[in-house]
Structure 1
Amino acid sequence: MSEVSPFWSPVVGTLTPYVPGEQPKQAKLVKLNTNENPYPPSPQVLEAIQAATLTGLQLYPDPESTTLRQTIARHHGLQAEQVFVGNGSDEVLAHAFFAFFQQGGAPLLFADVTYSFYRVYCGLYGIPAQTVPLDEDMRLDVAAMVAPRAELPAGVVVANPNAPTGMGLPLEQIEQLLQAHPNRVVLVDEAYVDFGGASAVPLVARYPNLLVVHTLSKSRSLAGLRVGAAFGQRPLIDALERVKNSFNSYPLDRLAQAGAAAAYNDTAYFAQTVADVVDAREGLTLALEDLGFVVLPSQANFVFARHPRRDAAELAAALRGHGVLVRHFQKPERIAQFLRISIGTPQQCGVLVAALEAVLQSPAAAA
């Protein structure tokens, strides 16, 4: 950790930055630690990006990302004015936290076990965080989130399906959150929804306090392109645009806009890729259970699993020794014995299972 510099603004020394999953420099590792899609983008995406390189790079891109927003809107049955796009869903989330959740010191509600960037944004913007524990089954406790409070919260954020558990909420419970907090924004982060979750996008027309956030990093195989989107009624999108244009008027370059639009247009490739990941997830779940793991029911492109007789940190280290990367979270303590395992190709999942079989047979892996 670097020393505090006298040149820093006071808040900088108080920040606890987000720590992303490892992006290894070592070749030939089976990388199942950051929930990337194991399949490449649609060939149409690559063609669109290549075409975009041939002209116009000396000019700024469209600051409104008009064609991309129109394309995404058609896909979801929305109007382009109900769509916001940014440089990855993390940037979209950051703008949303700035735009909606700085409410005079009121606390923002989110789960105690969820995407850890939410707490980082709270620290960056000085938003108090009020976490709601997952229930005993590791599911989001909607009843606790809708319970009356003495103080009006700054808003509510839920990842649906949740990360890192992979479990999702039905739309009925999303509506409970929206109805319980009509005067605050309820942000539904749907990074993994295409792998089996129920999207809240159809609710946008009925709830002016709903903001839904998507990413192209997972189901559309574009983690390296950095494109995210938000959907909501016009006043919410207008707020995001005000923040964006006060920060960076050109967040998406020409290549990103072209590639992202092509990804939405190739619906057949998208459907096949998602189906392949879901099939591999179900097969991996069964294989892990055969090895004695407890696997939470997942609607995402990863599984969250623990072995009742093996320490998770030791398992993760041993797997790395076999050339397989998975994600282990030491905090919070209640998930310290879980591994989050991204879904790879059938071949990659086979390598993982073989490595686990070897590790579990070794007394060195015992807790």
Structure 2
Amino acid sequence: MSRFWSRVVRDLTPYVPGEQPKIANLIKLNTNENPYPPSPKALAAIQAELDGDAARLRLYPDPNADLLKAAVARRYAVTPAQVFVGNGSDEVLAHVFMALLKHEQPILFPDISYSFYPVYCGLYGVEYATVPLADDFAIDPDGYCGRPNGGIIFPNPNAPTGRLLPLDAVERIIAANPDSVVVVDEAYVDFGGKSAIALVDRHDNLLVVHTLSKSRSLAGLRVGYAVGHPELIEALERVKNSFNSYPLDRLAIAGAVAAIDDQAYFDQTCAAVVATRDALTADLAGLGFEVLPSAANFIFARHPAHDAGELAKALRERNIIVRHFRQPRIDQFLRITVGTDAECQALTDALRAILNPAA
């Protein structure tokens, strides 16, 4: 700890991202990346941006990313004034905490959820209280109704559990909190849920956050966006333009627009991930695992007779990595990203050998 650190830095407990090890022949099922490549149209658009006029990279990109906002607006039948874009959904969320969730009352989010939320609270000085998940690890809407708060945020599907809150239950939370912003973080919704973006025209307190890292296979490009009432978007723009007025580069804008417009490829790859997820769920159940219902591109599973940490260690020795959270209530679960069919088969083969070494 340096004497030059500010008090804010001294008190921070930073977010720890999923491990990115450099191991040969690794089967990497720990960070929820899409196993399929991005849309060929997105790759072509990035290359065209490079080939068209090399001098363009010496110029700043469009600070408003108007082409990308228009693409998102087309996709969801909203107006560009209802769209905000940033460097991945994490940057969008960071601006959300500063612009819309920093109030007198504490904000609410699930006790088991995306672990970046308390980090943002520490960074921006936002008070918070957690709402326990139900015994089956589902989000309990009743915990967010009739309780004073400075805002509400939750992922849907939730992370790391993968459980989906139905859209009518999401709207119930929104309607019960008309004087608070309700942020629905939909990083994984394309793998089995209905987006709350359909509700933004009915509720001026709703903001929905998406990323292109998961269902659009663009984790390396860092593009995220939010959709909500224009006044909510204006608040985010004010923070963004006080922090970084050129958040998205030319290549990111070009690739993101093409990826959003390529609906056929999006549908194809999402369907492939869902099919593999369902097959993996069945295979793990056959090995004795309890697998929570998932609407994401990962599953959350535990084995009643085997410690999760030991299973993760044994898989790692076979060059397969999954995510293990050492957190109360979920320390016996493994979060397993849905990979290709071959990767998931290798995982189940490895688990079969670990569980039944004498077979």
TM range (shorter): over 0.9
- Counterpart of 1:274? 270
Count the aligned residue pairs: 355
Q: Deviations over 1:196-246 (max 9, x none)?
A: 012100100010000000000000000000000000010000000000000
- Counterpart of 1:171? 167
Where in structure 2 are the equivalents of 1:1-367 lying within 5 Å? 4-54=1-51, 55=53, 56-104=56-104, 106-146=105-145, 148-149=146-147, 152-331=148-327, 333-362=328-357
Q: Following the alignment from structure 2 to structure 1, what is the Cα–Cα distance between the partners of residues 63 and 8? A: 30
Q: Following the alignment from structure 2 to structure 1, what is the Cα–Cα distance between the partners of residues 234 and 251? A: 25
Q: Report the Cα offset of residue 270 of structure 1.
A: 0.5
Q: Following the alignment from structure 2 to structure 1, what is the Cα–Cα distance between the partners of residues 108 and 215? A: 27
Find the residue that maps to 2:175 and give its secondary structure: helix
Find the residue that maps to 2:57 and give its secondary structure: coil
Question: Retained in 2: the 8 A contact 1:169–1:198?
Answer: no
**TM-score computed with the length of structure 1 as normaliser:** 0.96
Q: Report the Cα offset of residue 360 of structure 1.
A: 0.8
Shift >2 Å, 4+ stretches = none
Q: Deviations over 1:51-90 (max 9, x none)?
A: 1113210100000000011011000101011100000000
Q: Report the Cα offset of residue 5 of structure 1.
A: 1.1
Find the residue that maps to 1:353 and give its secondary structure: helix
- More moved, 354-363 vs 187-196: 354-363
**TM-score computed with the length of structure 2 as normaliser:** 0.98
Q: Following the alignment from structure 1 to structure 2, what is the Cα–Cα distance between the partners of residues 268 and 100? A: 35
Q: Following the alignment from structure 2 to structure 1, what is the Cα–Cα distance between the partners of residues 164 and 154? A: 10
Q: Deviations over 1:286-310 (max 9, x none)?
A: 0000000000000000000000000
Q: Following the alignment from structure 2 to structure 1, what is the Cα–Cα distance between the partners of residues 237 and 127? A: 24
Q: Report the Cα offset of residue 194 of structure 1.
A: 0.3
Q: Following the alignment from structure 1 to structure 2, what is the Cα–Cα distance between the partners of residues 329 and 350? A: 23
Q: Report the Cα offset of residue 173 of structure 1.
A: 1.0
Question: Retained in 2: the 8 A contact 1:39–1:273?
Answer: yes
Q: Following the alignment from structure 1 to structure 2, what is the Cα–Cα distance between the partners of residues 175 and 262? A: 31
Find the residue that maps to 2:225 and give its secondary structure: strand
Query: Residue type of the partner of 1:352?
Result: L
Q: Following the alignment from structure 2 to structure 1, what is the Cα–Cα distance between the partners of residues 336 and 249? A: 32
Q: Following the alignment from structure 1 to structure 2, what is the Cα–Cα distance between the partners of residues 361 and 19? A: 33
Q: Following the alignment from structure 2 to structure 1, what is the Cα–Cα distance between the partners of residues 3 and 308? A: 40
Percent identical pairs in the alignment equals 61
Q: Report the Cα offset of residue 362 of structure 1.
A: 3.3
Q: Report the Cα offset of residue 170 of structure 1.
A: 1.1
Q: Following the alignment from structure 1 to structure 2, what is the Cα–Cα distance between the partners of residues 183 and 27? A: 52
